[in-house]
Amino acid sequence: MQQSAQKQQAPSRAVSFSQLSTRLLFIVMSLAAIIALLLFVWPTEEKNKDFYSFKSVNIRGKLISLEKYRGSISLVVNVASECGFTENHYKDLQQLQRELGPMHFNVLGFPCNQFGNQEPGSDQEIERFVRRTYGVSFPMFSKINVKGPGVNAAFKYLTDSSGKEPNWNFWKYLVDANGEVVDVWETSVPIAEIKPKIAMLVRQLIVKRKDEL
């Protein structure tokens, strides 16, 4: 009788094991589907980034979103305080900011010490120098790397999207209102030479905004 009862219970155990296997298989397949979806979505989101989607620390140590500059034209420059190009560039960049700043434009200065160790000071020293010497009023950011190990994420976007990486101080990236790089100029190109294109973009932006009203 006991053997007969055990035989009758056996099928019940087999059914329970089958149900458990089915549930485990469903869970594994669901997890695999979720992982596959994440692997598909993440690269897409990365590709959709633009310059204004990043954050960066300003020269006073505060983390800010570059999103605040969306809708404006930006000239992004890796600056240095002890370079042979410092004098002319800072003067002309500040003049550009003074003339076009009120019309949806900003120079964005990113100090960098990677080229000739020509930006050795602290953020506080850099800010004091540019404010006192050149009356700089445009936004300045904390000292960063613009290439190689530890490169700033926003600058990596600039170089990756343009295909052009700085090889000295005062490279200039022109970014449109949507955060896309529209032009790049190396160190030796003076501000006077690039000003007409910047002014043209600013004018186009003003006209577009008026048309949208």
Residues known to be catalytic: 83
Report d(CA 92, CA 74) in Å as an integer. Answer: 15
Q: In the numeric block, which tokens belong to residue 155?
A: 């600058």
Can you say whether the dihedral through the CA atoms of 37, 179, 205, 62 is positive or negative?
Answer: positive
Q: What is the DSSP string of 174-202?
A: EE-TTS-EEEEE-TTS-HHHHHHHHHHHH
Amino acid at 191: I
Q: Are 56 and 141 in contact (CB under 8 A)?
A: yes
Q: Specify the DSSP class assigned to residue 115.
A: T
Instruction: Answer whether 79's CB lies under 8 Å from 89's CB.
Output: yes
For residue 1, give the 3-state DSSP assignment: coil
Distance CA 96, CA 86 (A): 15
